[in-house]
Every structure is written in C-alpha cells, then in structure tokens.
Structure 1
Amino acid sequence: MQLRFSKMHGSGNDFVVLDGRQHAFPLDQRQIRALADRHTGVGFDQLLSVEPARDPSCAFYYGIWNADGSPSGQCGNGVRCVAAWLHRAGALAIGANVRIESPSGPVTVRLLGVDEVIVDMGEPVFEPSRIPFAAAADDDAYDIPLDGESIRIGAVSMGNPHAVVVQPDLADPALQRLGPLLSGHERFPAQANAGFVQQIDRGHLRLRVHERGAGWTLACGTGACAAMAVLHRRGEVDDHVAVELPGGTLHIDWAGAGHTLWMTGPAAFVFEGEWPIPAGTPPRRG
C-alpha cells in the first residue's frame, strides 16, 4: 500500500499533509516516527491529516502529530498549510473565510493569495489551569527553577502550552540546553513549547522555539502568537508585531483581552510523494 502525501512548509516549519477526507488515518506512533526521520524517512516537524469535520459548524478537521508521534492541539504554521492544501484540492477559494476544526477547537482561515494565509487563532489563554501550568494565581510573569538557576517566563496557551522567555541574545549557546529543559519542566504537565524572544522595538520581535515533540524548529506559528501575546499583556509591544523566526517572518495582530488574535504568513508546497505502508496495517482515526 502506498500512502500519498504532500510535503509543505510555513516559514521553514515543515509538514507532511495526508488526505484523510475519504479514508481513516492509517499510521500508528511508530510509523509516524519512521516517516518523520530526516535520514531514512521523509522528514517533518509535524504531520497533518485533513479529515471530515466532527463539528458541524466547520468545513474540515485537521489532526496534528509531532515528529515523535505524539498528538498536538494546535499548529499555526500547519493550519496555513492546510488552507493552501485545501485550495489546491479545489475546496477553498481565495478570499473566502472558512472555519476549520483543530484538535483544540475551531479556527477561521482566509487565503489572501495562493501562498499567503491569515488565521483567526482565538484569544490567548493565560489562566494557569487551562494552559495547563502549575501556579497559585494568574500572573504575567513567573519565576521557575531551571538547571540550578531561576528563569522568568510568561505562560500562555494558543491551543497548546507555551513558555515565553525574554532573551537579549538568541545566539547564546545556553539556549540549546535550556530549551529542552523548559519544554519538559514539571510545572507544565503536558509539556510546553519553549520560546526565547528578543525585543527589537515595539513592533518587531525575534524568536527561537523549542517545540515539545519536535525540538528546535525554523518557525512556530503558535509560538509567535504566544510571544506577542505575553509581551502585549505586559504593555511592551503594539497591537501589530512582526515576529522574525529563523525560517521567515510572521505578522501578529492582537488588540488585547476580549479580542481574538490574528496571524498572517506564508504557506508553500515542496513536493508530492508516496510512502509504503506494510500490508495489514489496521487503519485508525485520531
């Protein structure tokens, strides 16, 4: 059996996209890891599966799996690629708003062009129990112990948990050590994406993200949203911010509490391919 897929990326954050609109999702965790291997497989940060919507208010559902085979709740760069994939499949017109269901809930997308997408990412969630993050009360900053030192973080959910650290030097070699430790910190019971953000001015940020289940990535859409949201809540950035990541720049718009956050960025096709699945593999969904 040959599994057809599309290889895509959003600002360097790369994906394999599967068409699950007619067939159940066919891969288990071990097979996802094999497909994700950059030496012996196809290679990706996340796997995306486009499927029929569970929510009747949505046109489609998309599943998300990290490179280690673990499920994810949201992926900002991924949903832009899903939108571009649906346009290529003839299911989404340029300029039309479409509601798509993610594992963490619905989002609204609109194609601005064949390779540029704007996404309503919902309102950032700062309540610790909903992130989830272990804290006695909601605050805009927390001090946590990490590898013998105290690190000051912001904690927020954009459909998945994020720890945001203001960092003056993104080339600091200590980040290679701190990123994985922060992602797996015990105060994040579901782990977290660890974002290290350098503020250039009130409208310009630079960011590196260590993603749970995927490691360091060239871009993280929800990470860009999280960094902007944390700094906006502190009054340190404006309502529109350009977030520069190693793979490209995303534009984030948020007017604060009571408003949804919008992300604009690119989506690109790389190639189409086929991947062999051993005979007798039982299909499953989710």
Structure 2
Amino acid sequence: MSEHQHRKTAEYGYVRMNGAGNAFIVVDAMETPFRPSEDEVRRLASVEAALGGFDQLIAVEKAVDGDAFMRVWNSDGSLVETCGNALRCVGWLMLDATGKSEVKIDTMAGPTLARVAGDRDGLHQVTVDMGQPRLDWQQIPLAEEMDTRGIELQVGPIDNPLVHTPGAVSMGNPHVVFFTDRQDDVFVRGTGSLVEHHPLFPEGVNVGFANVLDRQTIRLRVWERGAGLTLACGTGACAAMVAASRKGLIDRSARMILDGGELFVEWDDATGHVFMTGPVEIELTSQFQSVL
C-alpha cells in the first residue's frame, strides 16, 4: 500500500474571497492542520476543480502570539512568505469573528496588524500595517550588491531597452518595479515571466509595471511569482508606491489603480511603516476534502 493510501482525509471549511480582484481560497485550519503538497495545490487551483481556481490558497491557523497565523501557497504550489491582499481578507474574517477593532495576524514574513476602515461602494474596507519596507539588496534578496532605488537590469536591446533600472523592494516578499506606460497583456506576461526567474533574484521575484499618472496616482499591473498576471497584488502595490517615492516620482502616498480595483497605500513618515487600505469581498463559503 502506498504512503498516500495510508494518509487520512479531512473535511475543511473554506471561504472564497477576493481583495480588489485578487482571488483566494481561505481554509479554516484552526483545529485540523492543512499541509497540501505542491501537486495538491496545483490540482485545487485548476479552474476545472471544484474550488474554481484561485491566485493563492490560504490556511488560517492558530497563532502562538496573535489572533491567527496565515500560511500562503501560490497557484503553482509554491509556499510563499506573505500576501498583502490576503492579509486584508483574513483580517476581515478575524475582525468579524472576534469583534475586535484590530487583530494581529502572523505570517512567515512576520506579524501584521489589520483594522476595519469602514465601507466604500458597498464593500468592507480593511487597513493592514505592512511594516517597514526592506530596501537593502541582501534583504530583497539580490544575488549581488546594488543600489535598490534602480538596479542594473534591463529588458530588450542594450542600446534601446524596453524597460530598465527598476526599483527593488521587499514587502516580506521580493519585488522589482519598472516604471513604464507599456502595460498591455503581451508585454506584461512576456517581460514578467522572463524577469521572475532572472539569476539576479535567487528566490524569484514579483514584477510590477507602474505608470505614474500624477503625484498621487499610479496605474499598476503585476506579474506575481508563482501565480502569473493577477487582477491585483497588495504587496506589489506597496512595493510600487515605495519604489516611486524613492525615485521622487510621488510623495509618500498614492491611489493605486489595479485591474481588479483600487488600493490606497501610505508610507508613514513617523514609523516608516507602509499602510495599505482596500476592499474585501466574500463570494461563497463551502467545504472540501483533503488528505492530512
């Protein structure tokens, strides 16, 4: 009998949610551990599967210190450090369940605080304290020392690159941000998939394409490491705002316009923390079975 046949199955409750269009399956793992293999995550992420596809799979577990621990898998099965939009979704679930005004959610990238920010356009808004951006080349990480305000990377001909000198920021996961008005699907998919696995990024990288419309507004598209082109990326929005501010293109806050909705991101002068506010939406609740 195979090892798989020896493993038991368990039934898990889940909530299908989106944060500005970023699609999540949030699994209740408070009582029963949820540790899917990469193959199982990929199978669950298939649009033909019962769950209907997702960008990230989220397990909400008991925390040693805090209200919950959030574990994140990308749709390709890879386990990642954190996810900004998922933090807002899990934050809303914990705020609603506990009745608190603020909850603490721990992740592999460290703890985060979430609080209610009212309603807008009929959707609940949640603010998450994403902490301080990590700006040193070793923190992102890069394979070699560089000025992260504009790293030595370009795509296209040497004498006429299509994009070049992106800012590099870690928001608990690694990001590079190109500043360009070139944001069509073919360009974002082609460039994003190429840069994601560039040897300069030993852990892979999320790739942002930011068009600064004015000093308060950025149009952003993000190719997510392990998930591809998504409707929104919370850590990507934070990274793009920080990178734009470091280049002097904006001040310390911006309205971020993504394919799936809008986020407001502020880099606080006093604490150095980045705060992200945006909508969360519950689409359905159900159950599924998985092996233990």
TM-score (norm 1): 0.90
Partners of 2:196 and 2:35 lie apart in 1 by 29
Q: Is the Cα–Cα contact under 8 Å of residues 189 and 228 in structure 2 kept in the other structure? A: no
- Aligned residue runs from structure 1 range 65-84, under 5 A: 65-84=73-92
Aligned equivalent of 2:29? 20
Partners of 1:184 and 1:41 lie apart in 2 by 31
* Counterpart residue type for residue 132 of structure 1: P
- Aligned residue runs from structure 1 range 53-72, under 5 A: 53-54=63-64, 56=65, 58-72=66-80
SS in 1 for 2:166: strand
Partners of 1:211 and 1:186 lie apart in 2 by 17
Q: Residue 201 of structure 1: which of 214, 230, 236 is its match?
A: 214
* Counterpart residue type for residue 99 of structure 1: K
Partners of 1:97 and 1:166 lie apart in 2 by 35
Unmatched runs of 5 consecutive residues or more in structure 1: none
* Counterpart residue type for residue 261 of structure 2: G
Q: Report sequence identity in percent.
A: 37
Q: What is the aligned-residue RMSD (CA, Å)?
A: 1.8
State the shift of 1:172 in Å: 6.8
Partners of 1:257 and 1:68 lie apart in 2 by 38
- Aligned residue runs from structure 1 range 150-165, under 5 A: 150=161, 151-165=164-178
State the shift of 1:256 in Å: 5.0
SS in 2 for 1:105: coil
SS in 1 for 2:152: strand
- Aligned residue runs from structure 1 range 70-149, under 5 A: 70-88=78-96, 90-93=97-100, 96-113=101-118, 115-146=124-155, 149=158
Unmatched runs of 5 consecutive residues or more in structure 2: 1-9
Q: Mean Cα displacement is larger for which, 241-250 or 30-39?
A: 30-39
- Aligned residue runs from structure 1 range 199-278, under 5 A: 199-255=212-268, 259-277=272-290
**Number of residue pairs the alignment of both structures matches:** 274
Alignment of 1:44 with 2:50, yes or no, is: no
Q: Is the Cα–Cα contact under 8 Å of residues 15 and 285 in structure 2 kept in the other structure? A: yes
TM-score (norm 2): 0.89
Q: Mean Cα displacement is larger for which, 255-264 or 36-45?
A: 255-264
Q: Residue 198 of structure 2: which of 185, 189, 197 is its match?
A: 185
Partners of 1:269 and 1:172 lie apart in 2 by 27
Partners of 2:234 and 2:285 lie apart in 1 by 23
